[in-house]
Chains A and B, each alone.
Chain A
Amino acid sequence: MQKEKDNMPTSALGKKANIDQIKSVVSLGDKASPAIKDTNLDCKCAVIKSENFSFYYGLKVGVKNITMEIYPCSVTAIIGPSGCGKSTFLRSINRINDLIPHTRVEGNLLVNGHNVYDKNTNLVNLRQQVGMVFQKPNPFPKSIFENAAYGPRLQGVKNRSQLQQVVENSLKAAALWDEVKDDLKKSALALSGGQQQRLCIARALATRPNIILMDEPCSALDPIATGKIEDLIDKLQNDYTIVIVTHNMQQAARVSARTAFFCLGELIEYDSTAKIFRNPGKKQTEDYVTGRFG
């Protein structure tokens, strides 16, 4: 149980998942810019590692034999047509798919070296470490403060000033603080869609995760709100590993360093985003990114 804000939560996987440790191993550069995105790809220490991972809904295959590595402190985009398994894969990383009956997995899916589908995995701790942001902003029908404080409260933080500090830090990290600092008691539902989505990101950040999964986080937002979320993703990638599923290929091209193309449950191509959108190695990828698919 987290006692102090500065302590990273003990991970579900039995070891401290400290972003500073990861950073010291991979010695990352400064804030990623398009010019240096490719250099970040040199990181050898994968934070998420999928080894022949398959996910089945009953007899139906969700994803099949996915083998890929996702590197820390960078943005990895997953693209592909509807039903290709990209969300299934994303949702397997923090086992949200467990809520669906009659599912089973094969292969390994490792987060910080530990198989998340191990029977000893503590799901609460796993989801604390691997935060998630969904397509539609889903703040709780509570105040802005209570939304951001929800995770830390569950973790046992009761001290008011500590909670205030966590809320302020999370809202600042989610680039929302300046807009809401005088209205923290206001209902979260009164915020605009873009603000609600940033609040959801703040809520995810409040539990101190080191991985953030985003499932089409901007698809319900207008271009201005989308721009703010993309700026936020750019900022967050300095400290967090972000995996984003998006239907908007231009968005994948803008925000990510690496892109994975899924089709019919299989990983077709996984490479630097620059390569995928300039000169993809597979015809299938080229057909998809150029809109000739099908």
Chain B
Amino acid sequence: MAKHLQREIENLKKKLLALGAKVETFVRDATLSIEKRDAVLAQKIINNDIDIDNTEIEIEEDCLKILALHQPVAIDLRFIVAVLKINNDLERIGDLAVNIAERAVFLAGQPKVNIPVDIVDMAHHAQSMLKQSLDALINHDGQLAHKVCASDDIIDGMNRQMYLKVQEAILENPEQISSLIHLLSASRHLERIADHTTNIAEDVIYMIEGQIIRHRTEEYK
């Protein structure tokens, strides 16, 4: 009984990691497509979203099967619950990467805008948070998960800066308003990606410590 369950859990872990890797690639390529003004790469992301959607459904079905057949408890139960939620967050991150890619397609066809906020740096932060939250999941590293939760403030700050800079840029170059709004959208999507990554880290903490820290992250930073 225990061996069957452990085998199922190992398979689930592999599938979730594969999904995590795919989503990481999505976020990286979406950022790259904005940075390099690469509409072809952006379109590829948009077209491949269906893969992530299918994997998400497959993982959810696996979780339901394990719950029904093995009735896991304690750490196993917490793992399955965490996977169900992380799976959902990863799929949403994939969708946000697609949204960024859609902005990139638009921006690639417009003249380049220059504003003094580094969206690439912001994207790197979000990617690093995503990678760390997945590492925390694999290595059962609660400390790393807490670190991810704390990092969210940096991205929030960057997004606020972006808002102010875009506001100024619109006043200075009203003819670029469309491009600037798309850029602001991309920044907002990166901020949302960081939020979902924080959710993943919170679920990892629940899995390891058995404590729900959602909505009171401040106490745990």
A residues near B, CB below 8 A?
Answer: 249-250, 253, 277-280, 285-286, 289-292
Task: Evaluate whether A278 and B74 lie within 8 angstroms (CB atoms) in the complex, with A290-B2, A291-B1 already known.
Answer: yes
Enumerate chain B residues within 8 angstroms of A286, measured Cβ to Cβ: 74-75
Pair A278/B210 contact, Cβ less than 8 Å: yes
B residues near A, CB below 8 A?
Answer: 1-2, 5-6, 71-78, 210
Pair B73/A289 contact, Cβ less than 8 Å: yes
CA distance in complex: A286, B76 (Å): 9
Enumerate chain A residues within 8 angstroms of B73, measured Cβ to Cβ: 249, 253, 277-278, 289-290
Question: What are 30 pairs between A and B in contact, CB < 8 Å?
Answer: A249-B73, A250-B71, A253-B73, A277-B74, A277-B77, A278-B73, A278-B74, A278-B77, A278-B78, A278-B210, A279-B78, A279-B210, A280-B74, A285-B74, A286-B74, A286-B75, A289-B73, A289-B74, A290-B2, A290-B5, A290-B72, A290-B73, A290-B74, A290-B75, A290-B76, A291-B1, A291-B2, A291-B5, A292-B2, A292-B6
Shortest CB-to-CB span from B78 to chain A, Å, is 7
CA distance in complex: A250, B210 (Å): 20
Enumerate chain A residues within 8 angstroms of B1, measured Cβ to Cβ: 291
Shortest CB-to-CB span from A289 to chain B, Å, is 5
Shortest CB-to-CB span from B206 to chain A, Å, is 9
Nearest to B1 among chain A residues (CB) is: A291
Enumerate chain B residues within 8 angstroms of A291, measured Cβ to Cβ: 1-2, 5
Other A-B pairs beyond A278-B210, A291-B5, 18, CB < 8 Å:
A249-B73, A250-B71, A253-B73, A277-B73, A277-B77, A278-B77, A278-B78, A279-B78, A280-B74, A286-B75, A289-B73, A289-B74, A290-B73, A290-B75, A291-B1, A291-B2, A292-B2, A292-B6
Residue with the highest number of chain A CB atoms closer than 10 Å, among B1, B72, B74, B75: B74
CA distance in complex: A180, B5 (Å): 43
Number of A-B contacts (CB under 8 A): 32
CA distance in complex: A18, B78 (Å): 42
CA distance in complex: A280, B72 (Å): 13
Pair B71/A279 contact, Cβ less than 8 Å: no
Shortest CB-to-CB span from B93 to chain A, Å, is 28
Shortest CB-to-CB span from A138 to chain B, Å, is 30
CA distance in complex: A249, B71 (Å): 10
> Which of B5, B6, B72, B74 contacts A279, CB < 8 Å?
B74
Shortest CB-to-CB span from A165 to chain B, Å, is 43
Shortest CB-to-CB span from A288 to chain B, Å, is 9
Enumerate chain B residues within 8 angstroms of A289, measured Cβ to Cβ: 73-74
CA distance in complex: A280, B2 (Å): 18
Enumerate chain B residues within 8 angstroms of A290, measured Cβ to Cβ: 2, 5, 72-76
CA distance in complex: A290, B76 (Å): 7
Enumerate chain A residues within 8 angstroms of B5, measured Cβ to Cβ: 290-291
CA distance in complex: A280, B75 (Å): 9
Shortest CB-to-CB span from A282 to chain B, Å, is 11
CA distance in complex: A286, B2 (Å): 12
Enumerate chain B residues within 8 angstroms of A292, measured Cβ to Cβ: 2, 6
Enumerate chain A residues within 8 angstroms of B72, measured Cβ to Cβ: 290
Residue with the highest number of chain A CB atoms closer than 10 Å, among B72, B75, B78, B210: B75
A-B interface, 9 closest residue pairs, ranked by CB to CB distance from nearest: A279-B210, A291-B2, A277-B73, A286-B74, A289-B73, A290-B76, A290-B74, A289-B74, A291-B1
Enumerate chain A residues within 8 angstroms of B75, measured Cβ to Cβ: 286, 290
Nearest to A291 among chain B residues (CB) is: B2
CA distance in complex: A289, B76 (Å): 10
Nearest to A249 among chain B residues (CB) is: B73
CA distance in complex: A279, B81 (Å): 13
Shortest CB-to-CB span from A199 to chain B, Å, is 30
CA distance in complex: A12, B17 (Å): 63
